Amino acid sequence: MFAKEVYIARRSTLLQKMAQTAPQGQRGIALFVGNAEAAAQYRDNAYKFRQDSSWLYYFGIDEPFMAAVIDLDSGDECIFADDVELGDIIWMGPQPSVASKAALAGVGRTAPYNDVRPVVEAALTAGRKVHFLPPSRYFNTMKLSSLAGVATEDVTKVAPMDKDGGRHASEELVKAVISMRLVKEPCEIEQLDDAGALGQLMHTVARNNVKPGVLEQEIVGIMEGVTLSKGWGVSFPTILSQHGETLHNHLHDKVIEPGKLLVIDAGAENDMHYASDFTRTLPTGGRFTSRQRDIYQIVCDCNELAFSLTRPGTAYRDVHIASSKLMLEGLRSLDIVRGSIDDMVEEGIAGLFQPHGLGHNMGLDVHDMEDLGENLVGYDPDQKRSSQLGLGSLRMARRLVPGNVITDEPGIYFIPALISQWKAEGRDKGFVNFSKLESYFDFGGIRLEDDVLVTEDGARRTGPNRLPIQPSDVEDAMS
Ligand code: GLY
Ligand code: MN
């Protein structure tokens, strides 16, 4: 955990932000529910425990079955959790008391876990607002539904509390939490650099094991072992495939063949649960063919361009579009597309090659806070999300501010099914040279991803040792 002052200051800021949502006496309570153990097959064989990230942010205690209430009118706060009994000690060993754990978060009052129910009921009976965040786990959905008397399908809906009698997740609380977690504190940036170092080590070890004849799964295992031995584990399921045209390919059953491209998109979660997320695309035999190198260089240039444009005040949506333009220029120079770049961008042609966004927020979650709502997290109130393929998947469009941590992950993919559909339906509006493009059906895909911190006057990449990215540096590293 961080020092208790960190959590005290965060809750104090949250209280101030929530004070702006209603006059004193009408603010209600904020109810937080931490994650529970989840049975893998039976109760005593649970999945590895992962705490809820907003709980970690405000309370830091990395243990299951905890809840907390902050009274937004009086400022009182209480953590609800049970002390272990002798039966638990026999299996788990002695455990610190709930009161001593709460003290580490700077919370002075604790009560048994089930005592949260009468506290919430009393608030509801008194006609007070019960603010909570939309849960991502089923246990929390059920728990919040039962505590707050809200239908399970409404627990994940986010709306202002004066709508529908407040019987849903609180938009006010979501917005307050997002505004805080979007801007990383210095202590968080240290953790993100640490997770970056671990992710970079994972990729380095993976790269050292890429050679024809090795099973993809073997590389995955070696790579994940690095973060399991030095951190918490992976920050998301590893993507490692010679079929990189499938954006999230979790099938690792192929043998590495010479002459292919291997997409490795993987990251670490460190012991404080901060994430990293890097992608590199490697030539399986150690050297790019000239056809691979041509496409690779375009993606590499887009990655560098995006980084160079990343600074406070710039909307990341515009960085996505600038990267798309450069990509289309590169593809035009290879006669894969033809025509005006601006017209192609207008028509969304880049989405045929990069059907995803340039990046997302990153922090305690690898896609930070997407459980709170992608648009609330990634879009300023005056920004409207596009419906175009590619741009429509952009998860971080906001005007950047210092302390934002985002990914920079352009890609080019040759997806035969998508290309064939666009051709059959004329969706390319005449911009695509299909006879050239179809010669890339066996190419696969390329993605190149770094993690970037927005600073006061620009940006820097997180993690101490940027992974080789220029094609000749990749080849050198592989030799
Ligand atoms: N690296 C996985 C993702 O960004 O979705
Ligand atoms: Mn990513």
Residues with CB under 5 A from ligand 2 (ion): 277, 407
CB 137 within 8 A of CB 36: yes
The pLDDT tens digits for 25-57 are 999 999 999 999 999 999 999 999 999 999 999
CB 129 within 8 A of CB 170: yes
Query: Percent of the chain, pLDDT > 70?
Result: 100
Q: Which residues pair with 130 in a beta bridge?
A: 29
Q: Is the CB of 265 under 6 A from ligand 1?
A: yes
What is the number of the ligand closest to the CA of 356? 1
The pLDDT tens digits for 257-304 are 999 999 999 999 999 999 999 999 999 999 999 999 999 999 999 999
State residue 37's pLDDT score: 97
The pLDDT tens digits for 401-457 are 999 999 999 999 999 999 999 999 999 999 999 999 999 999 999 999 999 999 999
Ligand 1 atom with least separation from CA of 360: 4
**Rounded to an integer, what distance in angstroms lies between the CA atom of residue 408 and that of residue 451?**
6
CA 160 and chain centroid, separation: 25
Q: Is the CB of 236 under 6 A from ligand 1?
A: yes
Q: Which residues pair with 54 in a beta bridge?
A: none
335-373 burial, b at 16+ Cβ within 10 Å, e below that, comes to ebbebebeebbebbbbbbbbbbbbbbbbbbbbbbbbbbb
State residue 360's pLDDT score: 98
Which residues lie below 8 Å from residue 132, measured CB to CB, with a gap of 6+?
30, 31, 32, 33, 144, 148, 155, 169, 170, 173
Residue in 320, 406, 409 to alter for ligand 1 test, most ligand atoms within 8 A of Cβ: 409
The pLDDT tens digits for 343-390 are 999 999 999 999 999 999 999 999 999 999 999 999 999 999 999 999
Query: Percent of the chain, pLDDT > 90?
Result: 100
The model's pTM is 0.98
**Residue 27 Cα to ligand 2 middle (Å):** 37
Q: What's the 3-state SS for 162-184?
A: CCHHHCCEEHHHHHHHHHHHCCC
CB 155 within 8 A of CB 135: yes
Residue in 202, 236, 393, 450 to alter for ligand 1 test, most ligand atoms within 8 A of Cβ: 236
Ligand 1 atom with least separation from CA of 367: 4
**Rounded to an integer, what distance in angstroms lies between the CA atom of residue 105 and that of residue 8?**
7
Q: What average pLDDT does the segment 118-124 reach?
A: 98
State residue 171's pLDDT score: 98
CB atoms within 10 A of CB 109: 13
State residue 327's pLDDT score: 98
